[in-house]
Structure 1
Amino acid sequence: MTEQQTNLEEKNNKSVKTKERQFKGLSLTERKQARREKLIQAGIEAYGRQGFFAVTVKDICNEAKLTERYFYESFKKSDELFQTIFLTLIDQLQQNVMQAIMQASPVPEKMIASGLTALLTTLKNNPGMARIIYIDAMLVQELHNQATIHETMSRFERMIHAFVMLTMPHIKRSEREISLIATGLNGYITQIAIRWVMSGFKQSMDEVLSSCSIVFLSLVNTFEEKGKNI
């Protein structure tokens, strides 16, 4: 190996060591993603405690222990962070509900009880999540015309629609009618959840669960009776 080659290799090694020292073994993309995740977690904590409208970008950065330039590296404004957080939490909530429903399949009554119990338990155990989804998201949607939030909440309608079709595959109703029923059930559960969350979960879980269950059980009983009479 020539002296020139040796010097070049040493220079390359120093360059690599400098990069490793600078990024602590992580690539620039990985570090950026790590900062983004920190901001998301900080947002969940801050919005969950104080509400979206009481929290500033500076508050989020202080929570995440990052400077504001790193915030704008990942998000254009606080609305964008909030929307990302909302989608993340909705995914968690829906996964919990769907898992509970499927584990209780195929008995409709057990599926109803399990799904609603999973929903209410997740909310009560995570008051910050509950506030973000059922209080702040509704206000943000109304004041900022956030179509994404509206569309995401409609996922619950599709989940209810799927539940009806799964438990009552021979139901004599049109797709449009079932869709309207799912919309009504979703609105019913949403309003109960909002009231429960805003009250600080004062009513017992059993009372809220009973109130939520009654319309689903009535639906099952109604369609079962009509099926027998056909």
Structure 2
Amino acid sequence: MRMATSDRKYRGMSREARREQRRRQFIEAGHALFGSEGYQAASVKKLCREAELTERYFYESFKRREDLFAACYDEKLDLLFTTLLENLTSGTRSVEQIVVDGLLSLFRTLRDDQHMARILMIEIYGVPYDQQRLYERSIGRFSDMLLQFMQRFLPAPPDDPDVDLELLATGLVGVCIQMAQRWVIKGYRQTPEQLAANCMLIFRGLGQQTGLLEQTISPG
């Protein structure tokens, strides 16, 4: 009966469109199960039940369960990255306010999409996953965004030759990720405003040394 329903649903669609639709159903199932029950509990059989498709179609799109997880992870990461990037280009504000707004956007997004939070902040570390790819797609990507931001708006290069802006950017991103992980694991006990305030203690330390947070900039 279910297959008959599926046939009616896909009638008139090309083979490639049907294949892409099935892949989309598995990704949505992955978001739901990886984000609620976790990777270890989300077996291929459970994912197929959630997607309302057979195992045959699972292996049509994904070789392994971790490949589906990677697709879900990348999609949620792209969404979060886009959300934060939009914050950098909206309105005339001080650099300090841009950083505050960016942190609030990060923590509010994770709070409002707790499937995203679990996938990005918890489940990724329990998956047989290429850790170099994880770094490049997450920490490295956000560090590069922060590094470009710092290079663009620093009044002058640091006087101390030992100061490495790339290392600083990586460290600041790491602080935010570690705070977010603890927050998610502990059940979102603090508000996004409280997390942002604690992160800003560290960002302000950098600002005091460099003058970065004192500027006011316009978008673009």
Answer whether TM exceeds 0.5 for this pair.
yes
Report the counterpart of residue 123 of structure 2 in structure 1: 136
- Distance, in Å, in 2 between the alignment partners of 1:91 and 1:107 is 26
2:210 match: 223
Please tell me the root mean square deviation across aligned C-alpha atoms, in Å.
2.3
- TM-score scaled by structure 1? 0.82
Percent identity of paired positions between Structure 1 and Structure 2: 33
Partner of 2:167: 180
> Amino acid of the residue matched to residue 84 of structure 1?
A
Separation in 2, partners of 1:33, 1:117: 35
- The corresponding residue for 1:3 is none
Letter in 2 for 1:38: Q
Corresponding position: 1:171 with 2:157: yes
- Say whether residues 1:81 and 2:68 are aligned partners: yes
Structure 2 unaligned segments of length 5 or more: list them: 1-6, 215-220
SS at match of 1:54: coil
Deviations 1:129-160, CA, capped at 9 Å, x for gaps: 000000011232xx544432221111111111
Q: Distance in 1 between matches of 2:151 and 2:158?
A: 11
* Unmatched segments (≥5 aa) in structure 1: 1-19
Structure 1 range deviating more: 182-191 or 147-156: 147-156
- Out of 94, 97, 116, the position equivalent to 2:103 is 116
CA contact (8 A) 2:34 2:42 kept: yes
Distance 1:98 1:144, change over 3 A: closer
Q: TM-score, normalised by structure 2?
A: 0.86
Residues 153-201 of structure 1 deviation map (CA, whole Å, 9 limit, x = unaligned): 1111111111212221533367981101011111111100100011110
1:5 is matched with none
Partners of 1:105 and 1:111 within 8 A in 2: no
Residue aligning to 2:147: 161
Q: Which protein, 1 or 2, shows the higher relative CO under an 8 Å CA cutoff with sep ≥ 6?
A: 2
- In structure 2, what is the equivalent of residue 32 of structure 1? 19
Task: Give the number of aligned pairs.
Answer: 205
- C-alpha deviation, 1:213, in angstroms: 1.7
Q: Provide the rounded CA distance (Å) in 2 between the counterparts of 1:108 and 1:49.
A: 36
Counterpart CA distance in 2 for 1:89 and 1:78 is 17
Kindly provide the amino acid, as one letter, of the partner of residue 102 in structure 1: T
Aligned residues of 2:155 and 2:211 also touching (Cα < 8 A): no
Greater Rg by CA: 1
The structure where helix makes up a greater share of residues is 1
1:35-114 matches, cutoff 5 A? 35-105=22-92, 107-114=94-101
Find the aligned partners of 1:175 and 1:45 in 2 and give their Cα distance.
Answer: 46
